[in-house]
Amino acid sequence: MDCLLFLKGRKFFPRIEYFPMIPFVDLQAQYRKIEASVRRRMDAVLTHGQFIMGPEVAELEKELGRYVGVEHAISCSSGTDALVMALMALGIGSGDCVFVPVMTFIATSEAVERVGARPCFVDVDPRTFNLDPSDLERRIRDAKNDPKFGRPAAVMVVNLFGLCADFDAIDGIAKKYGLEVIEDAAQSFGAIHRGRKSGALAKISCTSFFPAKPLGGYGDGGAIFTPDGAIADTLRSMRVHGQGRERYEHVRLGFTARLDTLQAAILLSKMEIFEDEILARGRVARNYSRTLGDLPKPPVTPAIPEHQRSAWAQYSITFADRAARDAARKGLEANGIPNVVYYPIPLHRQPVYAGLGYAAGDFPNAVRMSETILSLPMHPYLDESVARLAADSIRESLKNV
């Protein structure tokens, strides 16, 4: 039985045993919609047999660039490799400091370390969860006055949960101190900031096609966007071992970072419905916000500035404290609603970064966020009844908190 039909008209009960029927991200519902297109495109690849850099790769890159509004789109093997390539293309490496938000997936800071630079953490805005421009400027000044940080070289701006960061303020600060800006759009492909698509907000922007992302494939993949032709040529060379004009001429160090043709074919099918899915995600988010806003002790729902459109990679809410968040989790799980904490450990508290010298209480906004945040199921095919059940579950769970 379809879980959404099963939920309609159901009253709140302390325990309902159908947890597996409500997916956190429903890729199967999406596949049912695009199955014919996916099979047709994959069959075409199987027929022509160009599994590496086949014609679908160039077609996808053209479509991605058109959608974002940037001349050059360079596909690659993952979102993490996209970040590494972006840093390398800008010449960032040993002795450099790259500022990254302290609340993000480790891939962002991991890419910085992989090129030999040092990640320098920045606190986040408590309402948008994105990098806080005022804390960025303070951290830049600190780094300039302390040689242990290295040369302030760049800021990697993560658009967390699908919402673009405050690029107006960040760009101004970066220009003031001579820093490059890299947009980490792994969660925000499809978002809009002041009329510009995510992916077009910096000299180099990177995204991920991990299956759970707003535009996700059926495996790993990523892309890099830039208006700069010279940077684009460097990136295209870098993803195939630094290849020059000839196949066995190598003009720089690179690595294997190509997007395979089958993934390109799948992503082309998903692009056919992508804009409709972004609009549907917005409707799901509005259902959540309206339903949760009616609670006696409502959690704080996402804040979206008027000049922005979120891609709604996640729908994340915050509670008054950890006890309320944990009680809500138990109530949701008792009623079959999956939920995730993004992220339970800020980067400065990760064991791998113990040597950077940060204290556990540094970055108070990120620490509080890790203790109070909760993400609910989010995908374009989520029925409104799930939002109502989530609100009922949270209402019941908070009665005695």
Which whole number is the average pLDDT over 380-400?
Answer: 93
The per-residue pLDDT for range 226-242, each reduced to its tens digit, is 999 999 999 999 999 99
How many angstroms separate the first and last alpha carbons of the chain?
35
The per-residue pLDDT for range 170-207, each reduced to its tens digit, is 999 999 999 999 999 999 999 999 999 999 999 999 99
Range of the domain at 11: 3-20+273-397
Least confident range from 19-23, 323-327, 334-338, 366-370: namely: 19-23
Exposed / middle / buried, residue 197 (Cβ in 10 Å: 0-12, 13-18, 19+): buried
pLDDT attached to residue 297: 87
The per-residue pLDDT for range 241-290, each reduced to its tens digit, is 999 999 999 999 999 999 999 999 999 999 999 999 999 999 999 999 99
| pTM of the complete model | 0.93
Which whole number is the average pLDDT over 28-43?
Answer: 98
134, part of any domain: yes
**Based on the domain organization, do 221 and 367 belong to the same domain?**
no
Q: What angle do CA 196, 201, 202 make, to 5 degrees?
A: 155
**Contact (CB, 8 A) for 100 and 112:** yes
Q: Is the pLDDT of residue 6 over 80?
A: no
**Based on the domain organization, do 267 and 254 belong to the same domain?**
yes
The CA distance from 363 to 119, in Å, is: 15
**Based on the domain organization, do 239 and 284 belong to the same domain?**
no
pLDDT attached to residue 67: 98
**Based on the domain organization, do 181 and 303 belong to the same domain?**
no
26, part of any domain: no
CATH code, domain with 309? 3.90.1150.10
Paired tokens of 340: 């995730």
pLDDT attached to residue 34: 98
28, part of any domain: no
CATH code, domain with 41? 3.40.640.10
Domain count, the chain: 2
Which whole number is the average pLDDT over 334-348?
Answer: 96
The per-residue pLDDT for range 143-154, each reduced to its tens digit, is 999 999 999 999
27, part of any domain: no
25, part of any domain: no
What percentage of the chain has pLDDT greater than the value 70? 95
What percentage of the chain has pLDDT greater than the value 90? 93
**Based on the domain organization, do 235 and 305 belong to the same domain?**
no
What pLDDT band is residue 33 in, cutting at 50, 70 and 90? very high
**Based on the domain organization, do 194 and 330 belong to the same domain?**
no
The per-residue pLDDT for range 88-120, each reduced to its tens digit, is 999 999 999 999 999 999 999 999 999 999 999
**Based on the domain organization, do 306 and 332 belong to the same domain?**
yes
**Based on the domain organization, do 217 and 229 belong to the same domain?**
yes
Query: What are the percentages of helix, strand and coil residues in the chain, rounded to 5?
Result: 45, 15, 40
76, part of any domain: yes
Please provide the size of the chain in residues: 401
Q: Is the pLDDT of residue 356 over 80?
A: yes
What pLDDT band is residue 385 in, cutting at 50, 70 and 90? very high
